């Protein structure tokens, strides 16, 4: 049996098309959503992601303002720019692309973003709101992961979800979201005794580790849904945290890399920006 391939790229495209209609209405009513993206330094991957975000905004009709800053900008200058965006009524979402170059304090920058405009959902206020189930912005990548599982048509309630990785931007919020969907959730990390054994119990497996092709065929319960968040560059090629070629023979459904979670991250960012503009 070969797994069904979950077409993240296609699903993201559907979501963007729905958003474009909504944005057209909002723009007619004088409420065009606006997104400010701050890119500091010249990390090539960050430049690619920011370009994709700008293109998605253009396609949907969201106004985007990209602030490109040199790597040696001071913490104070960066904080001032964030404050300007906070005050700007035409801007509904603010995203500071991570990671920031060495010498800049990420935590302080994130906390400077107005929680209402924090479309990444990284501000401690929004992290806390997510934890207690009280709305707020949800981090885009985990939101995309849950949306991909929903679109397989498999109910999440009562399922055993295993998340490998416990970062603040992917693993932890993904686990929280699945818990809210009434799944039973296990979180694995670098000190977990037997990650493979934990994974074998998963009906839904989320890999967010940053280790190319770590997850093997014998880690998978036959028929499981496998969501691969990993993006690793190996010999100039993008590969996930899941060994796709072998896992696809055991899983029930699986996301590819590229074309899985990545495009969903962008689509969910667009959705968060539209929602922020609707709330404003």
Instruction: Name the minimum Å distance from CB 77 to ligand NAP.
Output: 26
102 carries an active-site annotation: no
Question: Where on the chain is the footprint of ligand NAP (CB under 6 A)?
Answer: 141, 164-167, 169-171, 188-192, 195, 208-211, 229-232, 261-262, 265
Work out whether the CA dihedral 156, 13, 210, 249 comes out positive or negative: positive
Among ligand NAP, ligand LUD, none, residue 263 binds (CB under 5-8 Å by kind): ligand LUD
53 carries an active-site annotation: yes
Catalytic residue among 13, 43, 76, 97: 97
Scan for tokens 């060495």, then name that residue: 102
Among ligand NAP, ligand LUD, none, residue 41 binds (CB under 5-8 Å by kind): none
Q: What is the DSSP string of 214-237?
A: -B-GGGS-TT-EEEE---EEETTE
Using rule CB under 6 A, residue 231 touches ligand LUD: yes
Residue 206 neighbours by CB distance under 10 Å: 32
Q: Pairing mode, if any, of strands 4-5 and 225-228? A: unpaired
134 carries an active-site annotation: no
Rounded Cα–Cα distance for residues 51 and 49 (Å)? 5
Q: Pairing mode, if any, of strands 232-234 and 237-239? A: antiparallel
Instruction: Name the minimum Å distance from CB 154 to ligand LUD.
Output: 22
* DSSP category for residue 44: H
Position among 47, 66, 69, 98 found at the interface with ligand LUD (CB under 6 A): 98
Using rule CB under 6 A, residue 176 touches ligand LUD: no
Rounded Cα–Cα distance for residues 214 and 154 (Å)? 25
Rounded Cα–Cα distance for residues 242 and 114 (Å)? 36
Instruction: Name the minimum Å distance from CB 1 to ligand LUD.
Output: 25
Instruction: Name the minimum Å distance from CB 246 to ligand LUD.
Output: 20
Catalytic residue among 117, 118, 120, 228: 120
Using rule CB under 6 A, residue 276 touches ligand LUD: no
Closest to ligand NAP by CB, 57 or 81: 57
Tell me whether the omega of the peptide bond preceding residue 99 falls within 30 degrees of 0, making it cis: yes
Rounded Cα–Cα distance for residues 66 and 76 (Å)? 19
Tokens of 123: 């501000």
Instruction: Name the minimum Å distance from CB 157 to ligand NAP.
Output: 25
Residues that bind ligand LUD (CB under 6 A): 48-49, 52, 95-98, 120, 140, 231, 238, 257-259, 262-263, 265-266
| Active site positions, annotated | 53, 97, 120
């Amino acid at each position: 049996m070969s797994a069904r391939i979950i077409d993240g790229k296609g699903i993201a495209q559907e979501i963007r098309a729905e958003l474009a209609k909504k944005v057209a209405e909002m723009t007619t009513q004088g409420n065009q959503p606006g997104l400010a993206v701050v890119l500091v330094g010249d990390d090539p991957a960050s430049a690619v992601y920011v370009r994709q975000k700008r293109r998605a905004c253009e396609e949907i009709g969201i106004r985007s303002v990209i602030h490109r800053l040199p790597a040696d900008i001071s913490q104070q200058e960066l904080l001032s720019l964030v404050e300007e965006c906070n005050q700007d009524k035409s801007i509904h979402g603010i995203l500071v692309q991570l990671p920031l170059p060495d010498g800049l304090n990420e935590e302080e920058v994130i906390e400077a973003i107005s929680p209402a405009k924090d479309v990444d959902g990284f501000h401690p206020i929004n992290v806390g709101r997510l934890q207690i189930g009280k709305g707020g912005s949800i981090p885009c990548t985990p939101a995309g992961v849950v949306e991909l599982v929903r679109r397989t048509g498999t109910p999440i309630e009562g399922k055993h979800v295993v998340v490998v990785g416990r970062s603040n931007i992917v693993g932890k919020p993904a686990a929280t979201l699945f818990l809210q969907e009434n799944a039973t959730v296990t979180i694995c990390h670098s000190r977990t005794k037997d990650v493979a054994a934990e994974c074998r119990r998963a009906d839904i497996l989320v890999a967010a580790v940053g280790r190319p092709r770590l997850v093997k065929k014998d880690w998978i319960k036959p028929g499981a849904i496998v969501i691969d968040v990993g993006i690793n560059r190996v010999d100039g090629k993008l590969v996930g945290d899941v060994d796709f070629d072998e896992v696809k023979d055991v899983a029930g459904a699986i996301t590819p890399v590229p074309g899985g979670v990545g495009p969903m991250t962008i689509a969910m960012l667009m959705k968060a920006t539209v929602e922020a503009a609707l709330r404003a």
